[in-house]
Amino acid sequence: MFLRTNLAGLILLSLSLASLAGFQRVVANEALVSEPPYQTITDILYREGDDLTEYMQERCRLDVYYPTDIKQFSTVVWFHGGGLKAGNRSVPNELKNKGIAVVAVNYRLHPKVAAPAYIEDAAAAVAWTIKNIPKYGGAANRVFVSGHSAGGYLTSMIGLDKRWLAVHDIDADSIAGLIPFSGHTITHFTIRAERGIDGKQPVVDEMAPLFHVRKDCPPMLLITGDRELEMLGIYEENAYLWRMMQVVGHPNTTLYELDGYNHGQMDDPAYPLLVRFIESVNKTSEPR
């Protein structure tokens, strides 16, 4: 499904009205509903081995934010943006108190490393989550992957190109769903720069999600900002990925274009779409 819409505004409006109504009920009836308690475990090293460099020890860490009184909960692995050059992990406020866990991930950055180190780290973090989230009460088959900008690129790469998770004996198809926010679908501009290629010169090769389109990948929700406000050609890249997923016969790829929102703003209205996507996918299978 392709949607050019300002549905995000309608969603936010409806959520705001619902929140207001809920607030009024709480005032009148003194807390009818309480949020489940959450716990955060920080600074977990997700890479293993005796050959970890000092930089890997520093950057290859994650935080787990999870509900303590819900069993078989869903989890979102969240990759921060920053052009593969900057950024730090954090749990988005918009994903807190939603009955799901969030695994916020750091990964190594350019120029201290080059491709494919970023993708290797992302795959290791997802593999760690699938293998370990049951210890916290989560369902291993309800691990979703998402991220903004560079994080969206990493999301698509490890979900479409199965070799990165295969290193960890994980089938990429065991991911419950992929939700990249405004991610490159061509080869990332930082990876192109590492090869001396100008950022305005598009490249589609093995470092591009587009190169790996396949009909049997997990459900995918593509979300971008307004095509006239987005960075570079991000909307058009995602529209082409959406089209090619239709061509190869993938049954569950949806694209949202959020009118009026630029690259840096689009995440706010995108979070409710992510949560609804998780709810929709979960209706098709039992947690385990």
**Residues forming beta bridges with residue 138, ordered by sequence position:** 73
Report pLDDT digits (tens) over 197-229.
Answer: 999 999 999 999 999 999 999 999 999 999 999
Residue 68 CA to residue 132 CA, distance in Å, equals 15
The overall average pLDDT reported for the chain is 92
Residue 2 confidence class, pLDDT cut points 50, 70, 90:
low
Residue 55 has pLDDT above 50, yes or no: yes
What's the sign of the alpha-carbon dihedral 25, 28, 33, 35? positive
| Domain ranges, ordered by start, for the chain | 2-282
How sure is the predictor about 24, in pLDDT bands with cuts at 50, 70 and 90? very low
Mean pLDDT across 70-89: 99
Distance between CA 188 and CA 49 in Å, rounded? 28
To the nearest whole percent, how much of the chain has pLDDT over 70? 89
> What's the pTM value of the predicted model, to 2 decimals?
0.90
- Angle at alpha carbon of residue 266, lines to 265 and 271, rounded to 5°: 120
Superfamily of domain 2-282: Alpha/Beta hydrolase fold, catalytic domain (3.40.50.1820)
- Cα end-to-end span (Å), the chain: 29
Cβ(145)–Cβ(155) below 8 Å? yes
The three-state secondary structure class of 28 is helix
Q: What is the pLDDT of residues 155-191, one digit of tens each?
A: 999 999 999 999 999 999 999 999 999 999 999 999 9
CB 146 within 8 A of CB 95: no
